[in-house]
Amino acid sequence: MKVVTYGIRGSIPMSHEGGSRYGGNTSCMTVESGGSYLIVDAGSGLMLLNKKLSAANPDYPRNVKYNFLLSHLHYDHIIGFGTFPPVWERDNDIKIYTCSRNEKPLNEQIFGIFEPPYWPRSLLSASGAKFIEVWNGVPFEIDGFKVRPFAANHANKTISFEITDGKKTFVHLLDSEMEGMEQALYDELLEVCTNADLVVFDSAYSKEDYPKLKGWGHSTVEQGVALAKICKPKRMLFSHFGQQYDDAELDSWARFFEGETEFIMGTDGTVVNM
C-alpha cells in the first residue's frame, strides 16, 4: 500500500513567504495497492494530482476511472472538483462515496456549490459522476479495498476512514478534535488506530493557539503524539496545518515527537510506502 499527499493545509489554500516547503494546498491524498486507486478528499491538492494523472494517461481526461472518498463537504475538502477535468466529462467512471448531510440529493450536496452564481458553469449538469451514500460503522468494498467509515468529532457529519487492502491498514483522521470527544467515539478511535500501519492525523493548530480555538473540530501535533503512545501505530503523518503557520513554525512542532511511532510532518507530495 502507498499513500501520497497532495494537499496538507486546512481551511483555505495559502501562499506566503516562508511557507513553500510544506506546501499550500488543501486536503487531498491517494491510496494505492495492487493496481487499485482511491482519492481521499478533493481539496485544492487535487490540482497537483491532476497534473500527475494527465502526464501518465494519453486519453486523459477521458476514459478514466476514479473513486473518491469524502470525509465531509466543507469547502476546503471539495474545492478541487471545480477545476478537475475528469468530473466534467459525462462518460467517465467517477464514483464519489460519502454520507448524506441533509435532505437534498447527494449530488446536489456535493456539487451544489459549483453552480451559478458561485461558479461560472454548472457541474451538476455537465458531470456524469455517480454518488454513493455510506453510513458510519457499515464497511464497504471498492476494488479490493475494504473501507470502514466512522464518526469524527467535527461539524456537519464529518467521517473518518479505516482503509485496508488485507495486508496494511491506513486510518484517515483529518478534521477530528481529540478534546471533548464522546466516550463511545473515543473508544472506537482507539480500536481503529491500534497497531495501524499509518494514521493521518489532524494537526491544524499549534499547542499555543489551540486553547482559543477549542471546539472548532481540530487537533494538535501534541495530541497526535499522545494518541500514538496509546495506540502504537507504526507511522503517524500530520496534516491539515492552518494557513497561518510557516515552515519554521511547522518545523518546531517536531519537539513533541517521542515514542515508538515514526512521526512525519506532511507536505504537498509526501509519499509513504507500507
What is the predicted pLDDT for the residue at 15?
Answer: 83
Q: Where are the beta strands (DSSP E) in 79-190?
A: 93-98, 130-133, 140-142, 145-151, 159-164, 169-173
Q: What percent of the chain has pLDDT over 70?
A: 99
Cell digits of residue 199: 494514521
Tell me what the mean pLDDT of segment 118-134 comes to.
Answer: 97
Residues 240-268 have pLDDT tens digits of: 999 999 999 999 999 999 999 999 999 99
- Strand duo 169-173 + 198-202: pairing: parallel
Residues 7-23 have pLDDT tens digits of: 999 999 988 777 689 99
Element at 36 (helix H, strand E): strand 36-40
What is the predicted pLDDT for the residue at 19?
Answer: 67
Q: How many whole angstroms separate alpha carbon 18 and alpha carbon 249? A: 10
Element at 184 (helix H, strand E): helix 183-193
Give just the sign of the alpha carbon dihedral 189, 209, 225, 4: positive
What is the predicted pLDDT for the residue at 32?
Answer: 97
Would you say residue 149 has pLDDT above 80?
yes
* CA-wise closest residue to 256 among 228, 215, 234: 228
Q: How many whole angstroms separate alpha carbon 75 and alpha carbon 119? A: 13
Full-model pTM: 0.97
**With the CA atoms of 136, 68, 240 and 19 taken in that order, what torsion angle do they form, in degrees rounded to the nearest 10?**
180
Residues 93-107 have pLDDT tens digits of: 999 999 999 999 999
Contact 200, 239 (CB under 8 A): yes
Tell me what the mean pLDDT of segment 67-87 comes to.
Answer: 98
Q: What percent of the chain has pLDDT over 90?
A: 96
Tell me what the mean pLDDT of segment 28-45 comes to.
Answer: 97
Q: To the nearest whole number, what is the mean pLDDT of the chain?
A: 96
Residues 211-237 have pLDDT tens digits of: 999 999 999 999 999 999 999 999 999
Kindly state the DSSP code that residue 26 receives in the 8-state scheme.
Answer: B
Size of the chain, expressed as the number of residues it contains: 274
CA distances from 272 to 63, 184, 235, 237 (A): 28, 30, 9, 9
